[in-house]
Amino acid sequence: MEGELRFETRAIHAGQSPDPATGAIATPIYQTSTFVQPTPGQFIGEYDYSRAANPTRTALEANLASLEGARFGLCYSSGVAATGAVLHLCSAGDEVLLCDDVYGGTNRLFHRVFAQLGVKTTLVDMTDLDAVRAAISSKTKLVWIETPTNPTLKVIDIAGVSAIAREHGATVTVDNTFATPYLQRPLELGADIVCHSMTKYIGGHSDAIGGCLMTSDEELMRKLKFVQLSEGAVPGIQECFLFLRSTKTLAIRVERHCANASQIAKWLEGHKAIERVLYPGLASHPQHEVAARQMRGGFGGMITVYVKGGLDAAKRLVERTRLFQLAESLGGVESLIEHPAIMTHASVPPEQRAKLGIADHLVRLSVGIEHVDDLTRDLDQALASRG
Ligand SMILES: *Cc1c(COP(=O)(O)O)cnc(C)c1O
């Protein structure tokens, strides 16, 4: 039955059924660390200890797996904890290819934590498949894709990179945080593992930190589950409940994020205070065609702009918006604005920032689901030249 149900329906029902003890329609918050055993080694249900598994978390993991079209799901205490779990598939001497424009915390984890354990990371501009072919070798264990990228919103051809990785026996992981499973399903395009920071669109309300991994490969699942149990970077039960509540509205939230962002991106493209707009849905975006092929029904809620007038103008914009609040993070119902060079990407070395185009006049917008006219008016007053 589940296989026939559409995304919106699975978002509400997958992994969940009325509580057998009471009939409660909402999945209960099983706020318990342990479970009683009638005799040693015999469980009443499936559970013995909540680091290993907890019913609220199990419901969330099954729900998320269903949304990505995966057989298995695993949840973590944060997006970077989920990322670290994947890196544990590597041993000293293994090599990793990482797309060059990634979340700052991902960059830090690969280059400053796992590098010390002997895992070597090479940055590649994966919008160029020839560059991927040139960089990959028999030592490459893992290929890490993030698309659209953060903050320059480059779009990487997941099927193209996955086919190259497959020839070399490398595991492909896609950080699908920006696109969400509603718009993009990497496993269907040939990837092995999908990663999310649930803190962003999956949670969607800027009130909880979490991460998850999904795969259909039994062997990968076994290894990842072992790391989850052994390292214990699992989410709290309350958080699992919040994320389970959030996925129910993911489809309608993402639709509104996309509609608002696409209208605002077009409007910004014609604004005289803006030098350039990066949005995968615009015909002017360098990988617009790839985006149209692999993102279904929308291009996401993130927009990046180069403001005319350098750092001063960029700072003025982020300080003057009233609805777009100046803060890190993204993907919530409320609109946010931020300055990557000073805020989210400050830890990226200046030479790399320059190479990637993370300039002082770059500003990133996370377009929320408020009324689009109010958001446009807010940006317009913030961009107006003052007398
Ligand atoms: C935020 C983010 C992460 C890290 O997630 P946390 O939940 O903050 O640990 C990873 N990848 C992307 C694309 C992100 O935006």
203 and 350 assigned to the same domain:
no
Q: Give CA 95 to chain center in angstroms.
A: 23
Q: What is the CATH number of the domain that holds 55?
A: 3.40.640.10
290 and 158 assigned to the same domain:
no
Q: Which of 75, 197, 209, 239 to mutate to test the pocket of ligand 1 (most atoms within 8 A of CB)?
A: 197
Q: One-letter amino acid identity for 151?
A: P
287 and 228 assigned to the same domain:
no
333 and 202 assigned to the same domain:
no
**Beta carbon of 104 within 6 Å of any ligand 1 atom:** no
Whether residue 29 is predicted with pLDDT greater than 60 in this model: the reply is yes
217 and 117 assigned to the same domain:
yes
The ligand 1 atom at the shortest distance from the C-alpha of residue 106 is 10
Domain count, the chain: 2
What is 294-355 written as a DSSP string?
HS-S---SEEEEEETTHHHHHHHHHHH-SSSEE-S---SSS-EEE-TTTTTTTTS-HHHHHH
230 and 84 assigned to the same domain:
yes
The continuous run of DSSP H or E covering 242 comes out as helix 237-247
158 and 258 assigned to the same domain:
no
- Give the chain's mean pLDDT: 96
Q: Which of 247, 265, 284 is the last residue of a domain?
A: 247
The continuous run of DSSP H or E covering 193 comes out as strand 193-197
User: pLDDT tens across 132-189, in order?
Assistant: 999 999 999 999 999 999 999 999 999 999 999 999 999 999 999 999 999 999 999 9
Per the listing, tokens 């390292």 go with: 231
234: left (phi over 0), alpha (psi -120 to 50) or beta: beta
Whether residue 387 is predicted with pLDDT greater than 50 in this model: the reply is no
Q: What is the CATH number of the domain that holds 356?
A: 3.90.1150.10
**Beta carbon of 106 within 6 Å of any ligand 1 atom:** yes
Give the pLDDT band (50/70/90) at residue 216: very high
Whether residue 348 is predicted with pLDDT greater than 90 in this model: the reply is no
Whether residue 1 is predicted with pLDDT greater than 70 in this model: the reply is no
* The pLDDT value given to residue 3: 53
User: pLDDT tens across 367-376, in order?
Assistant: 999 999 999 9
The ligand 1 atom at the shortest distance from the C-alpha of residue 209 is 7
Strands 95-99 and 140-146: parallel
The ligand 1 atom at the shortest distance from the C-alpha of residue 330 is 15
User: pLDDT tens across 52-69, in order?
Assistant: 999 999 999 999 999 999
111 and 156 assigned to the same domain:
yes
Query: Considering the entire predicted model, what is its pTM?
Result: 0.96
Question: Phi/psi of residue 4, each to 5°?
Answer: -85, -15
User: pLDDT tens across 86-124, in order?
Assistant: 999 999 999 999 999 999 899 999 999 999 999 999 999
Q: What is the rounded distance in angstroms from the CA atom of residue 37 to the CA atom of residue 43?
A: 5
Find the radius of gyration of the CA atoms of the chain.
Answer: 21
Q: Which of 223, 247, 271 is the last residue of a domain?
A: 247
**Beta carbon of 177 within 6 Å of any ligand 1 atom:** yes
237 and 341 assigned to the same domain:
no
Q: One-letter amino acid identity for 323?
A: L
Cα of 13 vs centre of ligand 1, distance in Å, is: 26
The ligand 1 atom at the shortest distance from the C-alpha of residue 150 is 13
Q: What is the rounded distance in angstroms from the CA atom of residue 218 to the CA atom of residue 301?
A: 33
Cα of 317 vs centre of ligand 1, distance in Å, is: 25
* Cβ atoms of residues 171 and 220 within 8 Å: yes
365 and 224 assigned to the same domain:
no
Give the pLDDT band (50/70/90) at residue 8: very high
Whether residue 2 is predicted with pLDDT greater than 60 in this model: the reply is no
The continuous run of DSSP H or E covering 104 comes out as helix 104-108
153: left (phi over 0), alpha (psi -120 to 50) or beta: left
Q: Catalytic amino acids? A: 51, 103, 175, 200
Q: What is the rounded distance in angstroms from the CA atom of residue 173 to the CA atom of residue 79?
A: 13
Q: What is the rounded distance in angstroms from the CA atom of residue 379 to the CA atom of residue 42?
A: 61
149 and 31 assigned to the same domain:
yes
Which tokens hold the place of 115? Answer: 């590098």
* Least confident stretch, 30-39, 281-290, 302-311, 346-355: 346-355
Mean pLDDT over 8-28 rounds to 95
Q: For residue 333, give its domain range.
A: 251-384
The continuous run of DSSP H or E covering 158 comes out as helix 158-167
Q: Which of 78, 103, 149 to mutate to test the pocket of ligand 1 (most atoms within 8 A of CB)?
A: 103
Could you give the percent of the chain with pLDDT greater than 70? 99
122 and 243 assigned to the same domain:
yes
Q: Which of 189, 223, 247 is the last residue of a domain?
A: 247
